[in-house]
């Protein structure tokens, strides 16, 4: 039944997707790719795919998938578990290689090792599972700190470098603006809904307090420590003070809605928000700037969680070599450059961060290069197939603290016990 539903959803997607058809001669094959689903992401991908189709004569179909990454993974897994060859090329999240590796081909024979060396090493390592290159880095992502520089100027406040300072500044500006008549003004919005995005946000808080990454490289569960409790307690204090209570049900777009309509001073979000905030019709156009996320106190560090997407080829594809060629093309330097200029997608290739055209389109790429290179990875490698469960337990524990049901210490102690059970005593 699940397969039928998935198949039905997919057929519908195939029917209504704006497939790029070029009349190929016989011997040319059809490839289906799933990349992005809405807005600019879908458009930029479709332009790239069409260019490849024109050059090679193959036909390509774009399959629209759910925007929510949990939903997207669910659909992919149903297709792959059913050994369906309906989609040849998948766009996969940075935390999925361990989960999907079994269903993906090894791309090593199709990708020139020299090309591979151009990409960020950390991401390539992330995409290698059991010595097989199961995916190619396509674009990277890291958490950024968006702020209203016009408001900071108006109140004569410097850019906050610690979370504590951010809290103070946010409160001052929020109160000032409300007194001046903007009664919907809030200090800070982030992703607090019980979903993967909360894991990303909370890992940034933890890491900025030097509180580790939930599970360390050796599989040791490190999340239950006092620094992590401090970080979570601080975050919980934001809700209903400088953040609206609804923030604990916000994903990326809800928060951007608040910030872009001019109702928030600070926002944690991915780079994708930058072009949107500066679009023609954006109320905050030209009033926004971007920085690294604050540190967890003077002894803390600036950090950001590594996000980003890869392209992978399904084991069940009828034309794996053609699909791999499409992946090779889309992840190439030229195409990544085009995507960075047109859509603001962060390249995974070092050299492009020094490219004048890319920097002109995305001024902060240069300043924040360090953020992208040193982003902290979620513990998906060490936890492998169980990563989703670990992440869900973590975000639920954080969510319970944010919503004021349990205090940080209790949440973390409970989480440690649960993770111990999930991992069968740290053996993953």
**Least gap, CB of 230 to other proteins (angstroms):** 23
- Selected from 342, 396, 409, 416, the binder of other proteins by CB under 8 A is 396
For residues 376 and 90, what is the distance between their CA atoms, to the nearest angstrom?
24
Does 1 sit near other proteins (CB under 8 A)? yes
Specify the residue, 98 or 294, whose C-beta has the smaller distance to other proteins. 98
For residues 177 and 175, what is the distance between their CA atoms, to the nearest angstrom?
6
- Nearest Cα neighbor of 94 from 370, 394, 378 is 378
Site for other proteins in 100-129 (CB under 8 A): 102
- The neighbouring-strand residues paired with 264 are 186
**Least gap, CB of 244 to other proteins (angstroms):** 5
- Nearest Cα neighbor of 99 from 307, 383, 422 is 383
Does 406 sit near other proteins (CB under 8 A)? no
Site for other proteins in 362-391 (CB under 8 A): 385-386, 388-389
* CB 324, CB 110: distance < 8 Å: yes
**Least gap, CB of 247 to other proteins (angstroms):** 7
Specify the residue, 133 or 247, whose C-beta has the smaller distance to other proteins. 247
**Least gap, CB of 4 to other proteins (angstroms):** 8
Specify the residue, 304 or 400, whose C-beta has the smaller distance to other proteins. 400
Specify the residue, 332 or 391, whose C-beta has the smaller distance to other proteins. 391
Does 283 sit near other proteins (CB under 8 A)? no
Specify the residue, 67 or 225, whose C-beta has the smaller distance to other proteins. 67
Specify the residue, 134 or 142, whose C-beta has the smaller distance to other proteins. 134
Total of chain residues touching other proteins, rule CB under 8 A: 39
- Helices 333-343, 39-56: crossing angle, 10 deg rounding: 150
**Least gap, CB of 214 to other proteins (angstroms):** 16
Residues 166-185 vs other proteins: string with x where CB under 8 A?
------------------x-
Specify the residue, 51 or 392, whose C-beta has the smaller distance to other proteins. 392
CA 313 to chain centre: 20
**Least gap, CB of 334 to other proteins (angstroms):** 36
Contacts of residue 65, defined as CB under 8 A and 6 or more positions apart, other chains included, come to 13, 34, 37, 71, 72, 75, 76
* CB 340, CB 308: distance < 8 Å: no
**Least gap, CB of 84 to other proteins (angstroms):** 13
Q: CB under 8 A: which stretch of 18-26, 200-208, 321-329, 396-404 binds other proteins?
A: 396-404
Specify the residue, 109 or 130, whose C-beta has the smaller distance to other proteins. 130
For residues 274 and 291, what is the distance between their CA atoms, to the nearest angstrom?
12
Site for other proteins in 183-212 (CB under 8 A): 184, 192-195
Residues 244-263 vs other proteins: string with x where CB under 8 A?
xxxxxxx---x--xx----x
- Selected from 125, 182, 237, 405, the binder of other proteins by CB under 8 A is 405
360's tokens: 């002109």
For residues 397 and 49, what is the distance between their CA atoms, to the nearest angstrom?
41
- Selected from 81, 179, 180, 351, the binder of other proteins by CB under 8 A is 81
CA 357 to chain centre: 24
Q: Residues interacting with other proteins, by CB under 8 A?
A: 1-2, 4-5, 70, 73-74, 77-78, 80-81, 99, 102, 184, 192-195, 244-250, 254, 257-258, 263, 385-386, 388-389, 392, 396, 399-400, 403, 405
């Amino acid at each position: 039944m699940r397969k039928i539903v998935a198949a039905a959803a997919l057929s519908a997607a195939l029917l209504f997707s704006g497939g790029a058809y070029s009349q190929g001669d016989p011997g040319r094959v059809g490839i289906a790719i799933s990349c992005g689903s809405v807005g600019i992401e879908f458009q930029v991908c479709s332009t790239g795919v069409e260019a490849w189709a024109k050059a090679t004569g193959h036909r390509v179909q774009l399959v629209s998938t759910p925007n929510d990454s949990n939903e997207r993974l669910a659909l992919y897994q149903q297709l792959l578990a059913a050994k369906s060859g309906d989609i040849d090329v998948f766009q996969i999240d940075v935390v999925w290689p361990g989960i999907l590796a079994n269903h993906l081909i090894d791309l090593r024979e199709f990708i020139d090792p020299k090309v591979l060396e151009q990409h960020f090493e950390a991401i390539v390592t992330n995409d290698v599972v059991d010595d097989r290159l199961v995916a190619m880095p396509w674009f990277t992502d890291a958490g950024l700190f968006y702020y209203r520089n016009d408001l900071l100027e108006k109140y004569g406040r410097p850019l906050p470098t610690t979370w504590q300072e951010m809290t103070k500044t946010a409160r001052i500006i929020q109160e000032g603006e409300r007194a001046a008549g903007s009664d919907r003004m809030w200090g800070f919005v982030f992703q607090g809904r019980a979903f993967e995005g909360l894991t990303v946000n909370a890992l940034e808080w933890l890491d900025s307090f030097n509180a580790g990454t939930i599970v360390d490289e050796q599989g040791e569960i490190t999340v239950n420590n006092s620094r992590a409790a401090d970080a979570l307690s601080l975050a919980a204090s934001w809700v209903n003070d400088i953040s609206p209570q609804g923030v604990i049900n916000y994903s990326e777009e809800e928060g951007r809605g608040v910030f872009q309509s001019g109702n928030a001073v600070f926002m944690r979000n991915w780079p994708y928000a930058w072009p949107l905030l500066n679009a023609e019709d954006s109320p905050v156009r030209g009033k926004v700037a971007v920085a690294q996320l604050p540190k967890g106190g003077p002894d803390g560090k600036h950090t950001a969680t590594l996000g980003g997407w890869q392209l992978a080829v399904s084991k069940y594809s009828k034309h794996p070599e053609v699909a791999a060629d499409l992946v090779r093309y889309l992840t190439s330097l030229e195409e990544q450059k085009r995507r960075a200029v047109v859509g603001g997608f962060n390249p995974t290739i070092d050299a492009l961060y020094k490219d004048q055209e890319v920097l002109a389109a995305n001024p902060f790429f240069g300043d924040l290069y360090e953020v992208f290179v040193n982003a902290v990875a979620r513990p998906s490698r060490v936890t492998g197939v169980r990563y989703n469960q670990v992440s869900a337990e973590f975000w639920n524990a954080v969510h319970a603290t944010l919503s004021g049901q349990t205090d940080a210490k209790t949440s973390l102690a409970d989480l440690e016990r649960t993770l111990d059970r999930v991992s069968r005593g740290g053996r993953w």
